[in-house]
């Protein structure tokens, strides 16, 4: 199984912003989410978004045969 980059720069930036916002909501401003289970789900989603932003690989994109990374012409 090869891990080729399939997440483009814009997608990575959006994932990073959303991931940081979810971490902020769940860890710093805990009053926004009253349910503990929903808070843990949002925390997990935020962590996954940040990890996929840094490694530029999304397993779901591979399963769906999607790539937002642009092709470079040489």
| Residue 72's pLDDT band (cuts 50, 70, 90) | low
In this predicted model, what pLDDT tens digit does every residue of 25-71 receive, in sequence order?
999 988 888 889 999 999 999 999 999 999 999 999 989 988 898 86
Residue 32, pLDDT score = 85
How far apart CA 74 and CA 17 sit, in angstroms, is 31
Residue 66, pLDDT score = 87
DSSP letter for 33, please.
-
pTM of the model: 0.84
DSSP-derived secondary structure for 60-73: HHHHHT---SPPPP
How far apart CA 42 and CA 48 sit, in angstroms, is 10
Residue 3, pLDDT score = 79
């Amino acid at each position: 199984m090869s891990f080729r980059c399939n997440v483009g720069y814009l997608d990575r930036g959006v994932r990073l912003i959303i991931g940081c916002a979810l971490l902020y909501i769940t860890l710093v401003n805990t009053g926004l989410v009253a349910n503990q289970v929903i808070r843990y789900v949002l925390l997990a989603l935020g962590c996954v978004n940040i990890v996929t932003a840094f490694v530029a690989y999304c397993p779901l994109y591979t399963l769906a045969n999607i790539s937002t990374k642009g092709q470079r012409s040489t």
